[in-house]
Amino acid sequence: PAGAPLPAATRVGPVRVQVASLDRSLAYYRDVIGLRVVDHVDGHASLGPSDDARVLVELGERPGAPRADERPHTGLYHFALLVPDRATLGAFVRHLSEHGVHAGA
């Protein structure tokens, strides 16, 4: 609300995603999205940009976890990754298309 702004020091942390198959999800986030595996231990993995140490996505494996579109629960609908400019965005959308991934609203 207008009368309750967030403090200037507020920062968003990593997105945590529960997945049925860590190997499948790692392949997607690494090969399609382009994130780097920062850490991978015992059913959990942290991923970040290739050029710095920040963690943007944390994956936790839960075998048998239902897909988001198979369950009647609310959860993470989407998250955004900022790219530096329109040319980079265009190249990334082209890359997604080459992998058969739909991007956009």
pLDDT in tens, 86-105: 999 999 999 999 999 887 65
> Strand 36-41 to strand 44-48: parallel, antiparallel, or no bridges (unpaired)?
antiparallel
Which element (helix H / strand E) includes 27? Answer: helix 22-27
Q: How confident is the model at residue 1 (pLDDT cuts 50, 70, 90)?
A: low
Q: How confident is the model at residue 13 (pLDDT cuts 50, 70, 90)?
A: confident
pLDDT in tens, 22-62: 999 999 999 999 999 999 999 999 999 988 888 999 999 99
Q: Where are the beta strands (DSSP E) in 6-97?
A: 15-19, 36-41, 44-48, 57-61
> Strand 36-41 to strand 15-19: parallel, antiparallel, or no bridges (unpaired)?
unpaired
